Structure 1
Amino acid sequence: MCSGGELFDRILSKGHYSEKDAAEALRTMLQILNHCHSIGVIHRDLKPENYLLDGPSETSSLKLTDFGLSTLMPKDSMCTEIVGTPVYIAPEVLKAKYNEKADIWSCGCILYILLSGKLPFYGDNEREELRATLAGKYDLEKHPWPTISDGAKDVVRQMLTMDPAMRPSAAMLLEHRWVRVDGTANSNPLADSVLIGLKDFQKMNKLKKRVIQFMANNIIREDLGRMSEIFKTIDTDNSGSITIDELKEAIKKTGTKIPEAELQEIVDTYDVDGDGTIDYSEFLLATSNMNKLNTIENIDHAFRLFDKDGNGSITPAEVLEALKDCGVSMQNVLDMIKEADKDGDGMIQYEEFVEMMKDLDEMKNVTNEIKRLNLSSLL
């Protein structure tokens, strides 16, 4: 069990922070990835909260947790399942053809945050975040980047290379002059804005973050197979892209009436690469269902997933059991519950759970075209 908290907790508790600290954290993350990749394991959901410390001391080791979305891949094969967390997901994952290099991209996103306190790819909602990722454009010019060394920026550029074939492996990155133990990363304190940015990442209730993760793994994954089948049903010529004529024909079968001008608008809206059609990754972007989580039905469903005995209260033991694959300790759980436990009884009542899950920035309302166009009736 990891009782030392998250990676960002350690950084913030020190009160001072340098490139050398960021390089040390990255080095450990890459060493873990190098081991995983050497035995064929791809994590597929790397993000800061999945890196936990195994104890409270300064010498505690960083551990990678939550292998719930990981997969074992034979050498030279490709994954096709689209999984992960939007702001960290690699562009090739959205195109449903990727390998272990997708983990390098996600780790590069974490490094970007460690050095700047900001996300490299962001938007007002999940769809915009995924669009930003597919575009692959990030900033290395604005504050605080002018104060960051060329070596650090070179590592970021390499890890966030759009072409996975050109993206270095974990083993190669460990040899980079900025990453090595005896490397060029300096000990000068980074700008105060970086620490402020890292604090912002930690502001969200930690239990809420884990609940979101738990819900995504247990609810959203159920939709992926259905989305794939709907796409195949609409793509009648099996070209891998949906034309406006195919969309029109599919809509006709559902009995839904939508003007052709609106259908063209839908194609134009979700046609990210501008080829006049909607390919599979663009289709998943358009039908993105993270907003599905932000409903009282699914918050209720999540509560019941935690409340194993059905007595209307979530106990520390129930949270520990539900999050056992996330590497959390009982002390982590008690700290999490304390933030949400308004009446101080050591448990989370249903009302407290609902209150905690209100107004999630992570789940801003996204137009659900599957619902609007009634495409589910095609199955």
Structure 2
Amino acid sequence: MSSPGPEGKFKREGFVISSSGPLTKYYDVEQRKLGQGTYGSVSKAVNKSTGALRAVKQISKSQVKNIERFRQEIAIMKQLDHPNIIKLFETFEDHKNIYLVLELCTGGELFDRIIEEGYFTEKNAAVLMKQILAAVYYLHSHKIVHRDLKPENFLFLNKTPDSPLKIIDFGLAARFESGQVMTTKAGTPYYVAPQVLQGKYDYACDTWSAGVIMYILLCGYPPFHGDTDAEILQKVKAGKFKFNEADWKNVSGEAKDLIRKLLTFNPKDRYTAEQALNHPWVQHLAQASDAPISRSIVDNFRAFRAQSQLKKAALTVIAQQMSENEISTLKKIFMALDKNGDGSLTVQEIREGLTKAGLKDIPPDLEQLMKEVDSDGSGVIDYTEFLAATLDKKLYIQEDVCWAAFRVFDIDGNGKITAEELQHVLGMDSVKGAFDNTAIANIRDMIREVDRDGDGEIDFDEFMKMMRDRK
């Protein structure tokens, strides 16, 4: 999660481009719709320059009651960076619609898999719950509450049995402050927390919803049900549920214990996502798969540190746009290192991961190395920062991949990156919106390092040369 960092740090939100030009200039959009919602539709699209497959969510401005609320949803999505949260790549806007270009998930909704399977084994349920809880822990630690967690809002990336899960739809998400009481009634009958119905609640409403999902995963039906919404809501308000002996006799005591702790009526006593991730049921049944953690991680960090500031930014853009297939090994390593599951790595976690992998001599400058990889200055290494520092060069020196990154920096699309454009994309303007002198000097240095013809701007050939050079 980014905030204006110290000198030389950049904010990643700027890497999600907002264009006012036509979507069709950059994407071929399939006519057949993948889905239809209240405000618009979702279609499959292909990026014309890279061939990357994406989902495009088209939202009709006339259908959206509160356009500012919708822009807030986009602002939240731009900041999210977690393996179990859908990625927003860019947005387009014309006079009629807003288009969100998102990660394409082809595995269907968790809801549909529940219908197909009836219910899940404890092992499979634990693997799913670990992903759900990790994403919720990440959101809460970044002061964001989702407020509409339900199986329809989780998509599988693909059709494989072990496909990762992704939270989608941040239409009801909100930022919060510690101790803040929320009053907006939001959510869906089966999954909503009792306090939301009372109109006085906090972020703990999400862990209640996670508890309802866990209950359903293990038996196939919700803990609070009725024939009408009013009946369901009455049951939710009372907050009393039971484990029907016939359906629950083969479910472990540990599983029931975690459900009770998540469906605790008083939010102050309810388990947090962090506590739930550390519960024995999740810890025992959802162990991370073995990932090839090796010394090369540190070597990659070191090589990344030696890169120019602009190349680091470009690698971050590229990492953000890579498909899961291209980064699957790196993702496994990241998740194996991320001990507490919050979607970011501390020095301690990396040190422990390397030790566990049998490396005797942990480099003494590990902390310093991590500071260099931490491009947004948040004090930890976020998912995309880790990918950027460990990407295989063969992936990022391809011309189409670099062109997609170049486009992020070339805001007006004239084939040149100017100082103003860089400053804007990297979020290195000062708080007041004015360009401060340190930032200007920084940007000029970044351009000078790459600008071979000395015209004060960077064209694509210069950009490509930077990407192919060792530094």
Bigger share in helix: 1
TM-score grouping bracket, smaller chain normalisation: 0.3 to 0.5
Q: TM-score, normalised by structure 1?
A: 0.46
Which of structures 1 and 2 has the bigger CA Rg?
A: 2
Higher relative contact order at CA 8 Å, sep ≥6: structure 1 or structure 2? 1
The structure whose residues are more often strand, as a share, is 2
